[in-house]
A = this chain, B = another copy of it.
């Protein structure tokens, strides 16, 4: 058994993912050192200014940079790790490609809240991806604690499908001059889930946050209801998110497709590369 291929999801982990809609793996899931180049590339990735960059409502702090697997050889290489491809393929029961990627910075003191939302509604409505057979792979580039805005889930909510909510239409406040697809990327969610639905699913206390050291790998379902608090702390909370999609589930919106850094058009299966 090779040094780079000995970590795989077990049946209990797969069952846990299907039941809860998320699975948090410790840094040991990744080959030692495999994240180093990504962490080193992160300042350059976050320094980019252009359509791939989304700012916080303060108009200054970087919130997200999209498509780093297309611009950074470090991220591209990391995204082909056999461990990640194997995990995604097992969960999706298909070969996979990367539909979307981003670095979410959530900067110290400034990183803002993400409201309750599901991811999949954007991918079906904007990209015509007809099944929620995708998986988010969030890799912690910094330690994530309760103080710097951990992703927070309602376990099991992914089994509800697309939830009742309101399409706010128009542009969220502060982004009036941005192109229309920016409405899908901002701090104010375009599709707002009804609060009564959130309260029902949260029950008497059915909330969990995903916390752990840098290098932790968090898998979560595109229909799990999630949110995150602002970063109150003096510590950055950078996360790389790779969205793997099943090759049998390609985007079908060819009339008005979003830019390639939001919705990849090359749906060829990614071949593993142990780096």
Contacts and interface: CB of A to CB of B under 8 A. Distances in A.
Interface of A: 108-109, 113, 116, 143, 145-147, 152, 195, 198-199, 202, 205, 207, 209, 227-230, 232-235
Copies of this chain, complex-wide, total 2
B232 A227 contact: yes
A205 B230 CA distance: 17
Given A145-B207, A229-B232, 14 more contacts: A108-B195, A109-B195, A113-B232, A116-B232, A147-B207, A147-B229, A198-B234, A202-B233, A202-B234, A205-B235, A228-B232, A229-B229, A229-B230, A230-B230
A163 to B, nearest CB: 14
Nearest to A195: B109
B147 A209 contact: yes
Nearest to A231: B229
A143 B227 CA distance: 20
A235 B198 CA distance: 11
A209 to B, nearest CB: 6
Contacts of A234: 195, 198-199, 202
Instruction: List the 10 closest A-B pairs by CB distance, nearest first.
Output: A199-B234, A146-B146, A229-B229, A202-B234, A147-B207, A229-B232, A227-B232, A109-B195, A198-B234, A113-B230
A207 B232 CA distance: 10
B113 A209 contact: no
Contacts of A109: 195, 198
Contacts of A146: 146, 209
A148 to B, nearest CB: 9
A205 B228 CA distance: 20
